Structure 1
Amino acid sequence: MTIRYTFGGDEFIFVEISESMSLDAFFKGMAITRALAERNVRGVTEICPANASYQIRFDPDVITPEQMLSTLQELEAEVTGNALTLNTRIIEVPVLYGDPWTHETMMRFRERHQDPESTDIEYAARINQFASVEAFIDAHSGSPWFVSMVGFVAGLPFMFQMVEREKQIEVPKYLRPRTDTPKLTVGHGGCFGCIYSVRGAGGYQMFGVTPAPIFEPAQRLPYLRDFMVLFRPGDIVKFKPITREQYDQAVVDVDAGIFDLRIRPIAFSLAQFLEGPEAYNSRLMEVLNAN
């Protein structure tokens, strides 16, 4: 892939690794931005990785634009795509699929949807050629997802499904955005999944809700004690379907400040994943479920 560098004034460099999202492009960007952070280059003030690109902000009085560009090109030459290993985390996120809150919301905005006669998850199951909503949920929750970037609103993760491209779930966004989306909605638009960290406008299809806060300025919950935002680029997410009873109990635990998530450290190898995604994902689940 040919990487394209663009200056933004005299303080920014935008780096486009690929015009389309892929695990290769994502890993390349993650490797370069992490290597840059480890070098602790004087003058670099912000490093912002994204899906298949990244942006650097720097102080031109400390490092010139030409020097910054040269540094990034050096890092590009050092990084070999498929040989990359990423030290990251795998996080299990419970989801109540087909919940009443997103259902009530979607019913208020059916005139903005491609198929007003069906629900979002029924529509997604049909256009992805699944035999039933249950089969769609199995596919959505059955394989892990990479967090490729965090943003848009505080703590919102964009997630890319870790399966072969022909198996990826793809669903268009609403024809016109909604003015309301419940907090902690699990959504999907294009090839990306997301979790809405706060209530607000949105255009992604709505599949369910999680009881797990992913953005909490008060930092009451155990998994948010270090930082108010849960997700980081490079995290791996595994959705776990839960019942309404399990959801209600989780909400009680959240209110009590004792709710926690299953989170495990992992070293992810892109080369091993590409050799056999299903087998590699099975090994990831073994790590997640280990005591």
Structure 2
Amino acid sequence: MTGQDTAARYSWGGDEHIFVELAESMSLQANFRAMAITTLLKQERPDGILEICPANASYQVRYDPDVLEPRTLLAQLQDIEKRVGDASDFQLSTRVVEIPVLYQDPWTTETLMRFRDRHQDPDATDIEYAARINGLSGVDEFIETHSSSPWFTSMVGFVAGLPFMFQMVPRERQLVVPKYLRPRTDTPKQTVGHGGCFGCIYSVRGAGGYQMFGVTPAPIYDPSQELPDFGDFMVFCRPGDIVKFAPITREQYDDHVKEVEAGTFRIRTREVDFGLKSYLDDSDAFNARLLEVLRAD
């Protein structure tokens, strides 16, 4: 099975961490195994576990060695890995999340024009370049391709609250776009970007190297926890979230910004169970059923 070509590798990180690499390359299958293992670990959580962090094709555990003996933890993790297997029977309780996007917005457009000397194609915008190298007819087809399929949040990190997302289509249909030749020193907050096979949303303004396609009015990081979507935690996105991008107009974008400023904006979400086997059996049919959940009242 793709994503499980080699046995897991366990590495110690100082006295408090153990890092587990499940595969050398990212795939939905490898990431789903990481989700399954860390979910089971959270459910069984032995005394001494401090943090559990799933990633693209790996996970890391922070523990207290004064409470939990390292070799005991290693044995528990290896046992969970064996029980999970290829995770084909695992059902992940997660969310379908709709993220509105103003594609080709003025802010990322202005930013990308300042950094054309760092780009593979100085004469094109990022989205024009992405459309061309993916064999699409132009920007409109690219936006349709980018927004019509769901994206699986494989991990959250790099900077606080930034989700990495893997397009839920067969590999031969995935959008693939290289990062900038040299990173930018500026990226607008809430930019929707792409690098390699990963989509992302920049949670804060700062440096970055991913191609920029648009911007969302939806905050995904609120350290003050004043907005209604952040009552439980300052970071909105969770590993395992299934994201659907929804193209919006400038007028709709401005309306959403006013809602954010008024403290009334909510990201549209629905609870859902996701099973890898059902998805792999017929991904297009599965995605169609999955996205119907967002349209339910």
TM-score by shorter chain over 0.5? yes
243-252 or 9-18, larger mean C-alpha shift: 9-18
AA aligned opposite 1:158: F
Residue 17 of structure 1, CA deviation:
0.5
Tell me whether 1:277 sits opposite 2:290 in the alignment. no
Hey, what's the Cα distance between the residues in 1 that align with 2:13 and 2:296? 46
Tell me whether 1:67 sits opposite 2:69 in the alignment. no
Where 1:220 maps in the other structure, the secondary structure is coil
Question: For this pair of structures, how many residues does the alignment match?
Answer: 291
Hey, what's the Cα distance between the residues in 2 that align with 1:227 and 1:45? 17
Hey, what's the Cα distance between the residues in 1 that align with 2:165 and 2:103? 17
Provide TM-score, normalisation by structure 1: 0.98
Where 1:226 maps in the other structure, the secondary structure is coil
Where 1:82 maps in the other structure, the secondary structure is coil
Q: For structure 2, which runs of at least 5 residues remain unmatched after alignment?
A: none
Q: For structure 1, which runs of at least 5 residues remain unmatched after alignment?
A: none
Q: Structure 1: which 4+ aligned runs deviate by more than 3 Å?
A: none
Hey, what's the Cα distance between the residues in 2 that align with 1:256 and 1:219? 14
Partner of 2:148: 142
Q: Residues 92-124 of structure 1: CA distance to partner in whole angstroms, max 9, x if unpaired?
A: 000000000000000000000000000000000
- Which residue of 247, 252, 257 corresponds with 2:258? 252
Q: Residues 212-253 of structure 1: CA distance to partner in whole angstroms, max 9, x if unpaired?
A: 000012223222222221101001100000000100111111
Partner of 2:222: 216
Hey, what's the Cα distance between the residues in 2 that align with 1:219 and 1:290? 28
101-110 or 211-220, larger mean C-alpha shift: 211-220
Hey, what's the Cα distance between the residues in 2 that align with 1:138 and 1:219? 33
Partner of 2:51: 46
52-61 or 236-245, larger mean C-alpha shift: 52-61
Tell me whether 1:95 sits opposite 2:101 in the alignment. yes
Partner of 2:239: 233
Hey, what's the Cα distance between the residues in 1 that align with 2:22 and 2:250? 42
Identity value in percent: 65
Partner of 1:36: 41
Tell me whether 1:152 sits opposite 2:158 in the alignment. yes
Hey, what's the Cα distance between the residues in 2 that align with 1:189 and 1:98? 17
Tell me whether 1:191 sits opposite 2:189 in the alignment. no
- Which residue of 107, 112, 131 corresponds with 2:113? 107
- Which residue of 62, 78, 81 corresponds with 1:76? 81
Where 1:253 maps in the other structure, the secondary structure is helix
Where 2:26 maps in the other structure, the secondary structure is coil
Q: Residues 96-154 of structure 1: CA distance to partner in whole angstroms, max 9, x if unpaired?
A: 00000000000000000000000000000000101111001001000000111111111
54-63 or 218-227, larger mean C-alpha shift: 218-227
- Which residue of 48, 60, 63 corresponds with 1:58? 63
Q: Residues 9-56 of structure 1: CA distance to partner in whole angstroms, max 9, x if unpaired?
A: 232111000111111110111111111111121111111110000011
Q: Residues 75-103 of structure 1: CA distance to partner in whole angstroms, max 9, x if unpaired?
A: 00110322221000000000000000000
Hey, what's the Cα distance between the residues in 1 that align with 2:37 and 2:62? 15
RMSD of aligned residue pairs (Cα, Å): 0.9
AA aligned opposite 1:258: T
Where 2:251 maps in the other structure, the secondary structure is helix
Residue 61 of structure 1, CA deviation:
1.6
Hey, what's the Cα distance between the residues in 2 that align with 1:224 and 1:138? 30
Tell me whether 1:27 sits opposite 2:39 in the alignment. no
Tell me whether 1:17 sits opposite 2:45 in the alignment. no
Hey, what's the Cα distance between the residues in 2 that align with 1:248 and 1:125? 27
